[in-house]
Amino acid sequence: MAKRTGIVSEFVMFLKQNKAYWMVPILLVLLLLMAVVILGSTAAAPWIYTMF
């Protein structure tokens, strides 16, 4: 029976095997932008706008 891994651990293994460490900053920026978009549409929006 094959070991089941999650998508995050599979992606981390892919980065290690292919030495694609340059993808990490891109992924972090995309996650940050996604968080800003999600929080911008909630009640936390006034708090975000005061930071910028």
Total-model pTM = 0.60
**Which tokens sit at 52?**
């910028």
Q: Per residue of the chain (52 residues), what is the pLDDT tens digit?
A: 567 778 889 988 999 999 988 999 999 999 999 988 887 777 766 776 676 6
Q: Provide the pLDDT for residue 25.
A: 94
AA letter at 17: Q
Residue 3 is classified by DSSP as: P
> Is 42:35 a contact under the CB 8 Å cutoff?
no
**Which tokens sit at 44?**
């936390």
**Which tokens sit at 3?**
């070991």
Q: Which residue is listed with tokens 């340059």?
A: 22
Q: Provide the pLDDT for residue 2.
A: 60
